[in-house]
A = this chain, B = another copy of it.
Amino acid sequence: MATLPIKNKIRELRFFAEEMTQQELAELVGVTRQTIMAIEKCKYSPTLEVAFKIAEVFGQSIDEVFQYQSV
């Protein structure tokens, strides 16, 4: 696995959103808890669609949830 150039603020956003659990976010997004976990811990980057759904849950834009560091 290459190094991931994309970070995110999911964890902060979850706790800011009434301490939403990974499980709750997963259900709102329509993926499994492990997927949220892997994304949150930067194991891999989500697809654009999942990224959109996560941002939508928190009422933010993708660019606010995910930060891309160009090399």
List the B side residues contacting A56 at CB < 8 Å.
Answer: 68, 70
Contact of A62 with B by CB under 8 A = yes
Task: Say how many copies of this protein the assembly contains.
Answer: 2
Majority DSSP secondary structure for residues of A touching B: mixed
- What residue in chain B is nearest A52 (Cβ atoms)? B68
- Interface size in chain A (residues, C-beta < 8 A): 18
Report Cα–Cα, A61/B5, bound state, in Å.
16
List the B side residues contacting A5 at CB < 8 Å.
Answer: 49
Indicate which residue in B48, B61, B63, B66 contacts A46 across the interface (CB closer than 8 Å).
B48
Chain A interface residues toward B at CB < 8 A: 1, 5-6, 45-49, 51-53, 56, 61-63, 66, 68, 70
